[in-house]
Amino acid sequence: MNTLSNASNNPLIRPFAEFFRTESASGLILLGSSVTALLLANLDAGVARHFPAIWDSTLSLSVNDFRLEKTVAHWINDGLMALFFLVVGLEIKREVLEGELSSMQQAALPLVSAVGGMLVPALLFTILNWQVPTSSGWGIPMATDIAFALAILYLLGDRAPLSLKIFLTALAIADDLGAVVVIALFYTHEIHLDYLAWAGGIWVFLLVLNWLGVRILTIYLLLGLVLWYCTLKSGVHATIAGVLLASTIPFRIRYNQRELMQFLDHRMAVIRDAIRTNNVQPRDITEELEDINEHTSSPAQRLEAQLHGPVSFIIIPLFAFCNTSLLIDVGLINQLLSPLPLGIMVGLFIGKPLGISLLSWLAVRLGFASLPAGVSWMQLIGVACLAGVGFTMSIFVTLLAFAGQSDLQSIAKLAILIASLLSGVVGYVLLTSASPQANRTDLAPEALQKQV
């Protein structure tokens, strides 16, 4: 039986199992949408010949004197992707407050690994692009695509232990946090202080609402929409508004453990009494359960649950469908050994596994961290290779680094596709051939007993 199937029976790790299933399935859909876009962009027949031009058509939103006009590609990249970053922000918040990044002992290895997986690729890219016009693309090979990486791990079934999947998830989330910081600090070209001040004021107001105990999700979302617009007009990339909004949405539930059990006992007793007296319809029971969920979950929990599916199965595949509409010709292939694509491919395919593996080894060697339970070094190296599947976030940084330079964007996207494919294949082969190391002599006995 599949590891995730067994895990889903354990209430403590069921959220992880559900997360892996969603991300894994979305990774396969993401692959399908990318391949379809590439085929349509390169078919010299009918509508397919003009397919990439669809994304340059414009859509406008106007209300009285207010007008916002963007191309279809911009609406996807600046608008819909803000929802992706909102989910990323909610995931980061969850992991920091209660998950794998909530304590130094748990977070040590993923954080150190993420730092290595960001610094080494950026360094290799910079060396290969030193003092050339494409040097601004150093952030491209820093990112990991969690959907693709987990999809490959999912294909391994029981050969990849749950602790390895949790490690990759924590690593990718820490990696996403680093990418958000890089985008905010280094890929903002022109700042409009008035709009930036409005965005900052709205964000502070949302934080105050959280501090005051306001838990009405609609208020946060409406103000978040205004925050997105002000961020868009400020010059900071609009998707950062998603992460800022996520940081303000209440995460804690209203009750402590004792109060929660008392509340649930009381509400379930009411339901049992109604059933016993035959004074209730099935629909009434489901409505009562929905009300219980409303009272025992936080706004952040509910929003993440509601958005995770649409973002994973619609927005990210649509982003990939839009941004991999890449016409591949001989001229593009001949450029693959130029500094930009070479830096990306070396950064993702070599820099990612090298940085993650090297810093992980140093952290364990120095006693700062320990390997996840039941995970061998070969498996960790295999996961480090999977982290070289940059795809979604790498393409996103490409659009920011070379805005308006379609020729550089095209060659960078091709390099990302090649490096991600190579990283995925090598990572899968290494993980297939690796076996779990149940008895490791390099760790203290108490570390061997650690439960993930």
Q: Residue 395: CA atoms inside 13 Å, Cβ hemisphere, count?
A: 26
| Average pLDDT, integer, range 175-201 | 84
By CB atoms closer than 10 A (0-12, 13-18, 19+), residue 321 is buried
CA distance 148 to 138: 22
CA distance 331 to 333: 6
Q: Which amino acid is at 1?
A: M
Task: Determine contact, residues 415/338, Cβ cutoff 8 Å.
Answer: no
What is the Cα 97 distance to its own chain's centre? 17
Q: What is the mean pLDDT of the chain?
A: 80
CATH 1.20.1530.10 at 3-50+103-178+324-448, yes or no: yes
pLDDT of 2 higher than 50: no
Give residue 447's pLDDT band: very low, low, confident or very high (50, 70, 90).
Answer: very low
Tens of pLDDT, residue by residue over 280-303, are 676 766 766 666 666 667 888 889
CA distance 387 to 402: 23
pLDDT for residue 441 = 38
- Residue 67 pairs in a beta bridge with 62
Task: Name the residue with higher pLDDT: 324 or 1.
Answer: 324
| Per-residue CA distances from 148 to 11, 28, 178 (Å) | 26, 7, 19
pLDDT of 8 higher than 50: no
| Average pLDDT, integer, range 14-32 | 64
CA distance 16 to 451: 14
Residue 41: both structure tokens together: 């962009």
| Number of C-beta neighbours around residue 257 at 10 A | 8
Most confident residue range from 41-50, 241-250, 251-260: 241-250
Tens of pLDDT, residue by residue over 91-137, are 888 877 877 676 777 778 888 999 999 999 999 999 999 999 999 99
pLDDT of 233 higher than 90: no
Q: Is the dihedral of CA 205, 210, 216, 222 positive or negative?
A: positive
Q: Which residues are within 8 A (CB) of 204 and not within 5 positions of it... i.e. 6 or more apart?
A: none
Tell me how many degrees the CA angle 67-72-74 measures, rounded to the nearest 5: 75
| Number of C-beta neighbours around residue 124 at 10 A | 24
CA distance 436 to 452: 15
pLDDT of 226 higher than 50: yes
pLDDT for residue 13 = 52
Task: Determine contact, residues 89/331, Cβ cutoff 8 Å.
Answer: no
Residue 333: both structure tokens together: 């292939």
CA distance 138 to 129: 8
Helices and strands (DSSP H and E) totals, the chain: 21, 2
